[in-house]
Amino acid sequence: MGAKRNYWLFGYAVLYLAFLYVPVLFLPLFSFNDSAFIAFPLAGFTTKWYGQMLADDAMHSALWNSLKVGAAVALISTALGLLAAKALTRYRLPGGAAVLGFTSLPLFIPDIVLGISLLILLNTVKMPLSLVSVMLGHVLICAPFAITVLMSRFDGFDKSLEEASLDLGENGWTTFWRVTFPLVLPGIISSLLLTFIVSFDEFLIAYFLAGTDATLPIYIWGQLRFPYKLPVVLALGAVILVVSCVLVVIAEWVRGLGQSGRRTVGV
């Protein structure tokens, strides 16, 4: 079907994209502005804010914390998502829909409620606040994404491929590595990247659970109080946005790759 044309809608779509992107683009724009004030007219080009950002030790440790938490969260939530997605797509489970609903609940509970209730739990079991508690909270909000991404991947290929492998003499474990894993790999990569980004960017839950170890968003939040530090925050924000965008594009591209592969693989 050739796409029909509708110039009104097309114009609207362009405006909509502008609404999505232009506000965010002010961050990189002013991060190169040679003025401590974030205001027009622009005062000239500089990279000194980036220099100051790189020299900030607190930023380094926050960044390192965020990377550690993000990597751990990505691995754990993707592993959990892999198990759950396989169970929910490959077995006749009485009550499977209810379990799926339960695992997507974190999407429907405000982050602040998740944050304070975890805070109460950790306090009750006398577990000190640390990056581990942040990780726990982030796994909670990342798992639904991992499950969704991986379930669509599992649904995308025929269950009889795994049966064929069993039938040809492989056991459950070797079947996983010879058939299932290569076929869900795009989903796994995509899930790893997306859950990493969600954790890396998450502020509120970490704010309640981090204790004295700041993650990068907590560090940024702290900097926002000081007007003279704003240009440095802008520089940091610009870097984060660019890196996030690149990772998302890779993740979506890999996922799309898997899905377009499915089209040609199908009968």
Q: Minimum CB separation from another protein for residue 63, in Å?
A: 13
Q: Minimum CB separation from another protein for residue 209, in Å?
A: 11
The nearer residue to another protein, 40 or 45, going by C-beta atoms, is 40
- In eight-state DSSP terms, residue 219 is H
Record the tokens describing residue 201, joined without a space: 């960017």
Q: Minimum CB separation from another protein for residue 117, in Å?
A: 4
SS (H, E, C) 71-137: HHHHHHHHHHHHHHHHHHHHCCCCCHHHHHHHHHHHHHCCHHHHHHHHHHHHHHCCCCCCHHHHHHH
What is the distance between the alpha carbons of residues 253 and 148, in angstroms, rounded to a whole number? 16
What is the distance between the alpha carbons of residues 267 and 263, in angstroms, rounded to a whole number? 8
Q: Minimum CB separation from another protein for residue 54, in Å?
A: 18
The nearer residue to another protein, 81 or 187, going by C-beta atoms, is 81
The nearer residue to another protein, 29 or 61, going by C-beta atoms, is 29
The nearer residue to another protein, 64 or 102, going by C-beta atoms, is 102
